[in-house]
Amino acid sequence: MDYKAPIINLNEEPLYNKEKIKSILPHRHPFLFLDEIREIGEDFIVGTKFVKKEEEYFKGHFPAEPVMPGVLQLETMAQAGGILILSSVENPQDYLTFFMKIDNAKFRKKVIPGDLLVFRLDLISPIRRGLCHMHGKGFVNNQIVAEADFLAQIAKK
């Protein structure tokens, strides 16, 4: 798996904006963290999160030195993974994705307001019987800030 940060052009329209993401994922404010999908293939996806100082969690984590919680970095990464999984089925709005396991989570650098988090998730193995195993990485300024392995399941609503 590639350790290089995905290259994105912010002057180009994303493949999926927040509204398109909401047509696939059931998440809503304040729990929809993913902002855009920039690239999607059969076995990978690239998404972005614009980390803004107005985010609700910064009021308490930590007021004097705001840091995006690692668990929310993983949730944002998982939301991108959910789009990858749901893109493999017809009528994705009729399905939900449930994460069953997160392994090997690592946080390498702080994520702070003003950062652009770029996520890339790659399938570790093909999606079988509604199960998806993937590896994700989060980058800020082309450096890895977080990574983890995810196991998820697709379920009909």
Contact 37, 14 (CB under 8 A): yes
Q: DSSP class of residue 100?
A: E
Q: Provide Rg for the chain, Cα atoms.
A: 15
In 3D space, the residue among 154, 3, 2 whose CA is nearest the CA of residue 85 turns out to be 154
Contact 26, 94 (CB under 8 A): no
61 labelled catalytic: yes
For residues 89-108, b (16+ Cβ closer than 10 Å) or e, as one string?
eeebeebebebeebeebebe
Out of 29, 61, 133, 135, the active site residue is: 61
End-to-end CA distance of the chain: 33
Cite the active site residues: 61
